[in-house]
Structure 1
Amino acid sequence: MTIRKKTLNIPPVVQRGYFWCAIAFLLGVILSFSLPPIYALPVLPISFGGFLIIILKSRNALSAALRGWWFGFGYFIVTFHWIGAALLVDADRFGWLAVPAVLLISAGLALFPVLVSLAVWFSPSGNWLKVLIFAFAWALSEWLRGIIFSGFPMSPIGISWTISDAMIQSVSIVGVFGLSFVTVLASALPLSHYCIQKRRTQKSIIMATGISFGILVIVWVGGEIRISESEIGYNDSNLKIRVVQANISQQSKWDFKAKNLALSKHINWSLYNNNWDPELVIWPETAVPFYISNDGQLIHLISKAIPDDGFLITGAPRTEKVNGLSKVWNSMFLLGSDFSVKAVYDKHHLVPFGEYIPLRGVFGFSNLVNSAVDFSSGFGPTTINIKPIPSFSPLICYEGIFPGNVIGEGIRPAWLLNITNDGWFGNTTGPYQHFHTARLRALEEGLPLIRAANTGISAIIDPLGQIKKSTSLGSEGIMDGYLPAPLQKPPPFASIGNWILLIVGVIIFCFATFDFRRFRIKFL
């Protein structure tokens, strides 16, 4: 008697490449929902497990690369849809660019998941090893995304855990890209193991799921222990801070009449009497929409908002002639109650097409802000040390999203200051992603972070990344509080930086190239 094997009839459409590219696109789309403010964490194993499976089921390297690109395109087009909102602020001039810009940026960023696909495809065979390489390649791609073409490390997948203070404590050791590695590893293990393992057994699947769950439990328990054993008080100076969030609409920010109203609003909120006597008032990026560097009358007007014997920090554009040419900077000013400018910091990490146009002569575009010339770049991260204010490192706008690049050489600051204007992005997910991406710099450096945002989210964050006070997006008002103290000893990441990721890569490479079959230990 002959026994005929049962064959599975797979529909022809499933066998076609475009079907799996569509699946990859959908997996990328749902992955974006794991990010703030949605935090749909259950999609992580579905997205990453599914992504790894369709890579491994690719017929060749080109097929794997295409699937990786479609996964990345789906992920980035939803994650960064809010870039289009910035182009709609001045819809008459730039509205036509909103959709093409999001599509083109997403298409370019999708090349990074292509690198992930190829790394897995060409990696040595091995059940656990492929998952390790997959996780490392994803983390490495995020790191490269923060370097290539001026860098854009916004919204790494590690910020999905900012919903829990305990889960993000590991950032102090491995950084956000290290947390991304752990996230992808734990997410991809259960589903991918079911696909990779030739002899699938209930025991092996349970073990893979248990290891995945165990990794996350270890990270969470370690975080809870770190928080419980840390005593975070206030800075020895007991500096009393007031952050003003005036919630100025971006559409009217540079209108001449509206500019004066915006300035008055900042001054009035700074003087608000609620029995709190601030020593330092902080306004957000370009809160003063005038050139104040050489305008004594304007400084005198602003000085109404400066506390007696205190200081005011504000963002404002700065202009100066260099070799006969006018240059413009996006700057931060520290003003004293004696009407003097105590310190100036110029933003060094500029936004392409927003603050400058790459190859302006070729493209012929004007930038999004109302400036006939490109903004000039500052000299890089620096520490401002003006007594009696504890020394601090200023970060303007998205300078706060770059891990390991928020502190200059020399004196280690006592706190980080991030002034920003997220009014460009309205009530989208962009401001939430920006806030939580910047929030992790406090953990990485072991320093408190004070954030002043025009439309929100403003916050006081301690060196453990815990939000002590915050404002809501789109609200108007003030936030008063004391400056938290820094950690007495900087965390490991502050010293090692992103090199920890390369160390992990070297270890995985050694596992990938070492032939364990030739290595035997005989017990006598």
Structure 2
Amino acid sequence: MERLAGRIMLLWGFPRGVVAFLAGAVGALALPPFGFFAALFISFTLLVWLMDGSTGHPDGGWVTRLRSAFLLGWVFGFGYFVASLWWLGNALLVEADEFAWALPLAVFGLPAYLALFYGLATAIARIFWSDGFGRLAALAFAFGLAEWLRGFVATGFPWNAIGYGAMPVPLMMQSAAPLGIFGVTVLAVFVFSAPALTGTRKGMKTGLALAALLFAAHLGYGAWRLHQADSILAAASGNEMTVRIVQPVIDQARKLDDAERAAIFEEHLALSALPSENGGKRPDIVVWPETSVPFILTQNPDALARIAEVLQDGQVLVTGAVRSEDAGPGFAPRFYNSIYVIDGEGQIVSASDKVHLVPFGEYVPYEDLLRNLGIPDAIAMPGGFTAAPARAMLTLPGGRLFYPLICYEAIFPEEISGDVERTSALLNVTNDGWFGATPGPYQHFQQARIRAVENGLPLIRAANTGISAVVDPIGRLMRGVDYNQKGVMDATLRGGSVPHWDGNARENHFWLVLGSMLLIAAISRAGFNFRAN
């Protein structure tokens, strides 16, 4: 290992860039649908050795060292994000005649932007770099900080944070409950970097022991929480609800065709009316995916009447739909990506609008400027969607509450606030059909599962096609419908939740872990400077 480490450290120029790119790309294998978390041991071991050789020009001082480290991290991140997000380009092929020109921006442009955060991480880590296991702490601190920033800078896009690679199965997801995804990321980077110590020996025993202890705690805590949850859920009785999820698998081209709207609506109704599996209990709640209703429902009383015909007494439909709102004389109406709750009489009894919109998918940032530059709106509705000022809980007849998350809102931990304490389940409606049979829908599903683990609540997830499922409060799949499988799925949920920390506690734990890594890195760096002098 020492010989291999030495060769990696001494790489320069193009070969060095190739290794950095491939190191990042290999790390994408840790993400769904592969879930090969050991790939990140390879990625971060190589990154540490490349960082060890990241000195810049000998006469350039700190500026060239930081620039060299930044470029290294950027190339590493570019490889990681190209390999894990290439599928975004598939959405542009749905209307290829209009948007194919933007394919390079989706496949390479977004990864190039996201890689800036990893470049920042390696530049920060370089400031605290030393020759022992403290440099692993420096890297863990820097990546944790960078991933946290990626969660909100420029509206945020924390998709595929490194911590997700450490949580491929429920046993390994439970650490997200006290630490959140960003806290898990900090400790994961330290653990994944630990094999690099075998190539340089300095601080190897202490660093490997600490990494092994952290990994054992990760697994041990997971096993304990699964056992605890089993006891709690087994004891829960009463207040049960049977949920039917409809996965219609409507092709995107059909969804955009006005002539198909009535047929699409009837397909949803037909699936909703199917008899229960094996003569089981009829569903209390029927859930349709994001924007399932292909017209403005409040302007179509006949559609509400058809829903009432299909629903039985006491049943409720929860559906994604587009809501319009009059903006006043002289102004175009506003449109919202929404969820409706409709009772058996065809009445809308509750609604919630999407708060966190997708840039260039649901609205255009700096729209006037971009239109002047000739960049067209990427959505069909005039003016795009409007973001709701606040999230409204969905209230079902009988008082049960669902916490609504529309599409990619489920990837943002901070979107789930204190109101979640009053709810029975998280509800995620989405349409991952834009991305085809690629890793995208599987990555999206995993991130939604982690939100269930963090909040100790079951997750009800309905996708046009993607992965529709009911997940228990500790991330285990109760029932699911796989990608491109048309049909319905019924599942019964018990009342109650699993003990968990709230968002403020997880944030505090994240900063505590981050500060601990910074302290280790700073002490190690100070000792390194002392020995050097």
TM-score (norm 1): 0.90
1:139 positional shift: 2.0
Q: Distance in 1 between matches of 2:505 and 2:38?
A: 32
Query: What residue number does 2:530 align with?
Result: none
Query: What residue number does 2:391 align with?
Result: 381
Tell whether 2:47 aligns with 1:51.
Answer: yes
Which has the bigger relative contact order, CA under 8 A and spacing at least 6?
2
Residues 461 and 467 of structure 1 are in contact (CA less than 8 Å); yes or no, is this contact kept in structure 2? yes
Query: SS of the residue aligned with 1:334?
Result: strand
Give the AA of the match of 2:359: P
Query: What residue number does 2:359 align with?
Result: 352
Structure with the higher helix share, 1 or 2: 2
Unaligned runs of 5+ in 2: 56-64, 528-533
1:309 positional shift: 1.8
Query: What residue number does 2:13 align with?
Result: 17
Deviations 1:74-119 (A, max 9, x none): 1111111111011111111001211233211111100011111111
Match 1:152 to one of 133, 148, 157 = 157
Tell whether 2:334 aligns with 1:327.
Answer: yes
Give the AA of the match of 2:501: P
Q: Distance in 1 between matches of 2:418 and 2:143?
A: 28
Q: Distance in 2 between matches of 1:493 and 1:411?
A: 9
Give the AA of the match of 1:344: A
Give the AA of the match of 1:25: F
Aligned pairs (5 A) from 1:90-489? 90-123=95-128, 125=130, 127-191=132-196, 193-198=197-202, 205=204, 208-230=207-229, 231=231, 232-233=233-234, 236-274=238-276, 275=279, 276-324=281-329, 325=331, 326-364=333-371, 365-388=375-398, 390-407=400-417, 409=419, 412-487=422-497, 489=499
Residues 353 and 391 of structure 2 are in contact (CA less than 8 Å); yes or no, is this contact kept in structure 1? no
Query: SS of the residue aligned with 1:224?
Result: helix
Query: What residue number does 2:59 align with?
Result: none
1:235 positional shift: 6.7
* Alignment: residue pair count: 503
Unaligned runs of 5+ in 1: 1-6, 199-203, 518-524
1:268 positional shift: 0.4
Residues 460 and 469 of structure 1 are in contact (CA less than 8 Å); yes or no, is this contact kept in structure 2? yes
Query: What residue number does 1:500 align with?
Result: 509
Q: Distance in 2 between matches of 1:145 and 1:385?
A: 33
Change in Cα spacing, 1:411 to 1:36, as seen in structure 2 (3 Å) is closer
Query: What residue number does 1:75 align with?
Result: 80
Query: What residue number does 1:4 align with?
Result: none
Query: What residue number does 2:62 align with?
Result: none
Change in Cα spacing, 1:133 to 1:388, as seen in structure 2 (3 Å) is same
Q: Distance in 1 between matches of 2:259 and 2:288?
A: 20
Query: SS of the residue aligned with 2:403?
Result: strand
Residues 403 and 420 of structure 2 are in contact (CA less than 8 Å); yes or no, is this contact kept in structure 1? no
Q: Distance in 2 between matches of 1:138 and 1:440?
A: 20
Give the AA of the match of 2:381: S
Query: SS of the residue aligned with 2:414?
Result: coil
Residues 241 and 482 of structure 1 are in contact (CA less than 8 Å); yes or no, is this contact kept in structure 2? yes
Deviations 1:218-253 (A, max 9, x none): 211221121112222567321111110001111211
Change in Cα spacing, 1:85 to 1:111, as seen in structure 2 (3 Å) is same
Query: SS of the residue aligned with 2:182?
Result: helix
Q: Distance in 2 between matches of 1:122 and 1:160?
A: 26
Q: Distance in 1 between matches of 2:115 and 2:484?
A: 31
1:359 positional shift: 1.4
Q: Distance in 1 between matches of 2:185 and 2:420?
A: 30
Q: Distance in 1 between matches of 2:305 and 2:244?
A: 20
Tell whether 2:50 aligns with 1:40.
Answer: no
Q: Distance in 1 between matches of 2:300 and 2:421?
A: 31
Q: Distance in 2 between matches of 1:27 and 1:98?
A: 24
Q: Distance in 2 between matches of 1:483 and 1:280?
A: 11
1:211 positional shift: 4.1
Change in Cα spacing, 1:263 to 1:112, as seen in structure 2 (3 Å) is same
Change in Cα spacing, 1:102 to 1:410, as seen in structure 2 (3 Å) is closer
Residues 405 and 427 of structure 2 are in contact (CA less than 8 Å); yes or no, is this contact kept in structure 1? yes
Query: SS of the residue aligned with 2:386?
Result: coil
Q: Distance in 1 between matches of 2:395 and 2:95?
A: 39
Residues 404 and 498 of structure 1 are in contact (CA less than 8 Å); yes or no, is this contact kept in structure 2? no
Residues 283 and 315 of structure 1 are in contact (CA less than 8 Å); yes or no, is this contact kept in structure 2? yes
Change in Cα spacing, 1:194 to 1:263, as seen in structure 2 (3 Å) is same
Deviations 1:159-193 (A, max 9, x none): 224432111111111011222222211110122x2
Residues 185 and 212 of structure 1 are in contact (CA less than 8 Å); yes or no, is this contact kept in structure 2? yes
Residues 25 and 75 of structure 1 are in contact (CA less than 8 Å); yes or no, is this contact kept in structure 2? yes
Residues 439 and 449 of structure 1 are in contact (CA less than 8 Å); yes or no, is this contact kept in structure 2? yes
Q: Distance in 2 between matches of 1:513 and 1:221?
A: 29
Query: SS of the residue aligned with 1:81?
Result: helix
The CA RMSD measured in Å over matched residues stands at: 2.4
Q: Distance in 1 between matches of 2:514 and 2:428?
A: 32
Aligned pairs (5 A) from 1:1-12? none
Q: Distance in 2 between matches of 1:487 and 1:217?
A: 26
Q: Distance in 2 between matches of 1:500 and 1:13?
A: 35
Give the AA of the match of 1:226: R
1:205 positional shift: 4.4
Change in Cα spacing, 1:392 to 1:194, as seen in structure 2 (3 Å) is same
Give the AA of the match of 1:213: A
Residues 418 and 503 of structure 2 are in contact (CA less than 8 Å); yes or no, is this contact kept in structure 1? no
TM-score (norm 2): 0.89
